[in-house]
A and B are shown apart, each in its own frame.
Chain A
Amino acid sequence: MKFQVNRDVFSEAVSFAVKLLPQRTTLPILSGVLIETTASGLTLSSFDYEVSAQTEIAAEVEEQGRILVSGRLLAEIASRLPAAPVKFATEESRITVSCGSAQFTLLSMPVEEYPTLPQISASSGFLPAEAFANAVAQVAVAASRDDVTPVITGVQLEVSKTSLSLVATDRYRVAVREIEWEGADSITDTLTALVPARTLTEIGKTFGHSGSISVAITSTDERELIAFQAEKRTVTSLLIKGNFPPVKRLFPETVDNYAVINTAELIEATRRVSLVLEREAALRFTFSIDGLTLEAIGSEQAQASETIDAFLTGGDTVVSLKPQFLLDGLGAVHSEFVRISFTKTENPNKPGPVLITSQSSKDQAGADNYKYLLQPNLLLR
């Protein structure tokens, strides 16, 4: 095999192909990047049986071929090559990479043992890339990181005719957002797909500026997978098996007790006051007509409090929230103001959840439909 390729194009392609590979794989061969020549260039692929990534780039191919190279090593080399065309040549199991004055010799991994990448079925629909990337970032933060319960380590995608909703939860909070969806004509039923949150986050970052993303959900007897495609790049991921809990019904229909606060002020105050908190401890938030008072109490060594402006509708309210959970929600609303709504509850042993939504001004609700529901702790004292 012999080809020459633009340095920047190549470097970007390698980093894309490698990004989704896990840090450690059980099979060494899965840490490789597969480079294959095509009529007009190259495809670079990676696959670890869970996730696959593939991209096509232009190259001047002199001699056809197929090689497998250590992905991380190739990515590091590619990112540090001088600004000159990159030339690949193979001789038996040795690969020579030369670029300007630099030259590398790499060992080819046994390409014939490399697994075949999954087949992708016809597109189920299209997503606006930027809105999708934003939505993933807003929602995935609420997904569980605890592998004990695999179904909630994923983000649930639910497709209806014209919208796609993303839902994630770790039991303590639920985040939901809906974005536009242009469904293919062939799709009549509602589709759902539970995608690992870590993978979906990377996919969101990768495709953030791609215009429109084509999505295909495939289920065969063996496995179910989802594929995202844009600009000659494809990422597939196995879906998580199991039923996602019906968390959407936890959201209240209407809430008439809420406060509107400047998002940045609340983030700053929460960070400041929680400095004295013990790990895992909660902050106390008192909402009244005079504003919002944050108090860190319970620690013997230190205490802190701060009062900021808040525009309250309805009665005074006190809630106890874990600061990190609140900050995750505040960081996701992407709006100047935030609305915190207090839902009612019939259970005396469990305070009603608070709902966090965006607010473009103190009177105007935000344009997006992001919702973040958070369970407060019991009030001590």
Chain B
Amino acid sequence: MSKQDGSTRQVSAAAADDGRAHILHVDMDAFYASVELLTRPELRGLPVIVGHPGQRSVVTAATYEARKYGVNSAMPMSIALRRCPNAIVLEPHFDRYSHYSKIVMDLCRDLTPLVEPLSIDEAFLDVAGARRLLGSPFEIATLLRARVLASTGLTCSVGVAATKFVAKLASSRAKPDGLLFVPLEGTLAFLHPLPISALWGVGAKTEERLSRLGLRTVGDVAQTPLAALQKMLGVAAGQKLHDLAWARDPRAVTVEREEKSIGHESTFEYDVTDPAVIRRELLRMSDKSAVRLRRAGLEGRTVSLKLRYGDFSTITRSKTLAEPTDLGRRIYEEVVGLYEALDSADARIRLIGVRVEQLAPTGGAGLSLWQTDEDWRDAEQAMDAVTARFGAGLVRPATLVASPTAQSSASRRLKQSSPAPRDAEDLTDL
């Protein structure tokens, strides 16, 4: 898509809005970085990177000033700092991000019940039903942007269009702090000049294949016969691309979004070979995943382990359980089983991840006559209760309580004083 530094920004003024384009895509501007700047206003206008300062860390977010230097999220910190040596690096505060995310989502829900959060800082809104009360979609978008700024001090960009796909494109063109309205009849005029990479599902590989045929813009794809696209990309993918190129996107804004999986990953500061360290990390991530499962009232039937070795080769192994679980202990035992089965005792491990899949509401599988994990369930529910009352981190498995010896051996490998290496907690799972 466009370079994300705002250089291709496009916004609209008040427009001939007849209300037929009623899908809004709201996207916070450099969300994590902007939240950090709320507490460090003196850094406004400077290149700021959010992420752990360690060598092996990656960029979690960057301000537009930093993006101008070519810094992007998910880029290794070392490269980011090479590109922008005078950037200021701030530690992330995930609790603050979810706090502000909730405020923004609530502001959206004040406008319409049809809010589909895509991630912590993005949502689709369908405002078709709110017109009589609040005005045209353009006016509603203007109102939302004003309310977000007034309530949080953060800016967002909003795309307004007839379909989700075009609305999302519009918001990305409007960034930062902009509003782009694409009226129904102007949709193709907006869409067709865009590069093909703007189409959902077009990654580097597809883009290369299409451009080999001389297709460069969305309009080129639209003018290509469907049969030719399908021959090249397969029946389903060809059809999808062709539809998108003609702005046909029948997906409605849906409020309920089932999480497909819950998981955590962490990268070690230095490659780890010590199985005890790996195991401890697996326990920590299993517990975290289980806490999130229980909080969401879900249990999962498949547990998977991801390992990235020192040479960046990555493997995942998964196991389906006899009965779904939401217990950290069960998840831990299964992932350790998967880890041991790999026999990578001497391998240098860079990243490990734990994931629980095939989620369903707790108790849906029917009651069984006996449960192997009954005692653990009591223990973990007690931990939940302590957390609910006194906050997180007070009660932990003994192996995760930093003892002086464990601390020193761990801190040689793990970069932080707190037990966590860099974590990636995913909130978007679709």
Using CB atoms, name the residue of chain A closest to B369.
A375
Contacts of A172 in B (CB 8 A): 366-369
Assess the B366–A280 pair: CB atoms within 8 A: yes
- Cβ of A267 to closest chain B Cβ, rounded Å: 21
Assess the B321–A148 pair: CB atoms within 8 A: yes
User: Is B16 an interface residue when CB atoms closer than 8 A count as contact?
Assistant: no
Identify which of residues 350-369 in chain B touch chain A, using a CB-to-CB cut-off of 8 Å.
363, 366-369
Contacts of B369 in A (CB 8 A): 169, 171-174, 247, 250, 353, 373, 375
User: Is B322 an interface residue when CB atoms closer than 8 A count as contact?
Assistant: yes
Assess the A247–B370 pair: CB atoms within 8 A: yes
> How many angstroms from the CA of A171 to the CA of B370 in the assembled complex?
7
User: Is B320 an interface residue when CB atoms closer than 8 A count as contact?
Assistant: yes
Contacts of A376 in B (CB 8 A): 367
Partner of B370, one of A146, A250, A280: A250
Assess the A146–B322 pair: CB atoms within 8 A: yes
User: Is B323 an interface residue when CB atoms closer than 8 A count as contact?
Assistant: yes
Identify which of residues 141-182 in chain A touch chain B, using a CB-to-CB cut-off of 8 Å.
144, 146, 148-149, 169, 171-174
Total number of A residues with any Cβ neighbor in B under 8 Å: 23
Identify which of residues 316-330 in chain B touch chain A, using a CB-to-CB cut-off of 8 Å.
320-323
- Cβ of A170 to closest chain B Cβ, rounded Å: 9
User: Is A271 an interface residue when CB atoms closer than 8 A count as contact?
Assistant: no
Assess the A171–B368 pair: CB atoms within 8 A: yes
- Cβ of B61 to closest chain A Cβ, rounded Å: 41
Using CB atoms, name the residue of chain A closest to B374.
A347
Contacts of B370 in A (CB 8 A): 171, 245, 247, 250
Identify which of residues 249-291 in chain A touch chain B, using a CB-to-CB cut-off of 8 Å.
250, 280, 282
Partner of B363, one of A149, A322, A378: A378
Chain B CB within 10 Å, residue with most, of A171, A245, A250: A171
Using CB atoms, name the residue of chain B closest to A249.
B370
- Cβ of A346 to closest chain B Cβ, rounded Å: 13
Assess the A149–B366 pair: CB atoms within 8 A: no
User: Is A209 an interface residue when CB atoms closer than 8 A count as contact?
Assistant: no
Interface residues on B, range: 10 to 19
- Cβ of B336 to closest chain A Cβ, rounded Å: 18
- Cβ of B319 to closest chain A Cβ, rounded Å: 8
Assess the A149–B368 pair: CB atoms within 8 A: no
Chain A CB within 10 Å, residue with most, of B321, B363, B368, B370: B370
- Cβ of A359 to closest chain B Cβ, rounded Å: 23
User: Is A55 an interface residue when CB atoms closer than 8 A count as contact?
Assistant: no
Contact with A along B134-167 (1 / 0, CB 8 A): 0000000000000000000000000000000000
Assess the B367–A378 pair: CB atoms within 8 A: yes
Contacts of B367 in A (CB 8 A): 172, 350-351, 375-378
Chain A CB within 10 Å, residue with most, of B321, B323, B367, B369: B369
> How many angstroms from the CA of A173 to the CA of B323 in the assembled complex?
14
Identify which of residues 384-427 in chain B touch chain A, using a CB-to-CB cut-off of 8 Å.
none
Assess the A148–B366 pair: CB atoms within 8 A: no
Using CB atoms, name the residue of chain B closest to A250.
B369
Given contacts A250-B369, A353-B369, contact A171 B363 (CB under 8 A): no
Contacts of B368 in A (CB 8 A): 171-172, 375
Using CB atoms, name the residue of chain A closest to B321.
A148
Contacts of A144 in B (CB 8 A): 322
Assess the A322–B322 pair: CB atoms within 8 A: no
> How many angstroms from the CA of A21 to the CA of B369 in the assembled complex?
34
- Cβ of A193 to closest chain B Cβ, rounded Å: 22
Assess the A148–B363 pair: CB atoms within 8 A: no
Contacts of A148 in B (CB 8 A): 320-322
Contacts of B323 in A (CB 8 A): 171
Using CB atoms, name the residue of chain B closest to A171.
B368
- Cβ of A245 to closest chain B Cβ, rounded Å: 7
Using CB atoms, name the residue of chain B closest to A347.
B374
> How many angstroms from the CA of A250 to the CA of B371 in the assembled complex?
12
Using CB atoms, name the residue of chain A closest to B363.
A378
Chain A CB within 10 Å, residue with most, of B320, B363, B367: B367
> How many angstroms from the CA of A122 to the CA of B401 in the assembled complex?
57
- Cβ of B324 to closest chain A Cβ, rounded Å: 11
> How many angstroms from the CA of A368 to the CA of B201 in the assembled complex?
65
Identify which of residues 342-381 in chain A touch chain B, using a CB-to-CB cut-off of 8 Å.
350-351, 353, 373, 375-378
Contacts of A350 in B (CB 8 A): 367
> How many angstroms from the CA of A146 to the CA of B368 in the assembled complex?
14
- Cβ of A283 to closest chain B Cβ, rounded Å: 13
Contacts of A174 in B (CB 8 A): 369
> How many angstroms from the CA of A375 to the CA of B367 in the assembled complex?
7
Identify which of residues 97-145 in chain A touch chain B, using a CB-to-CB cut-off of 8 Å.
144
Using CB atoms, name the residue of chain A closest to B364.
A280
- Cβ of A379 to closest chain B Cβ, rounded Å: 11
Contacts of B322 in A (CB 8 A): 144, 146, 148-149, 171
> How many angstroms from the CA of A247 to the CA of B369 in the assembled complex?
9
Contacts of B366 in A (CB 8 A): 172, 280, 282, 322, 375, 377
> How many angstroms from the CA of A61 to the CA of B367 in the assembled complex?
60
Using CB atoms, name the residue of chain B closest to A150.
B322
- Cβ of B332 to closest chain A Cβ, rounded Å: 18
- Cβ of B223 to closest chain A Cβ, rounded Å: 47
Using CB atoms, name the residue of chain B closest to A325.
B366
- Cβ of B372 to closest chain A Cβ, rounded Å: 8
Contacts of A280 in B (CB 8 A): 366
Contacts of B363 in A (CB 8 A): 378
Identify which of residues 282-320 in chain B touch chain A, using a CB-to-CB cut-off of 8 Å.
320
Contacts of A146 in B (CB 8 A): 322
- Cβ of B9 to closest chain A Cβ, rounded Å: 50
> How many angstroms from the CA of A250 to the CA of B366 in the assembled complex?
18
Using CB atoms, name the residue of chain A closest to B372.
A245
- Cβ of B409 to closest chain A Cβ, rounded Å: 36
- Cβ of B300 to closest chain A Cβ, rounded Å: 14
Using CB atoms, name the residue of chain B closest to A169.
B369
Contacts of A351 in B (CB 8 A): 367
> How many angstroms from the CA of A253 to the CA of B323 in the assembled complex?
28
Q: Report the 7 A-B pairs with minimum CB-CB distance, sorted nearest first.
A: A171-B368, A149-B322, A375-B369, A148-B322, A375-B367, A172-B368, A250-B369
Provide 8 A-B residue pairs closer than 8 Å at the C-beta atoms, listed in order of the A residue.
A146-B322, A148-B320, A169-B369, A171-B370, A172-B367, A245-B370, A247-B369, A375-B368
Starting from the known contacts A148-B322, A375-B368, 4 additional A-B residue pairs (CB-CB under 8 Å) come to A146-B322, A171-B323, A171-B370, A375-B367
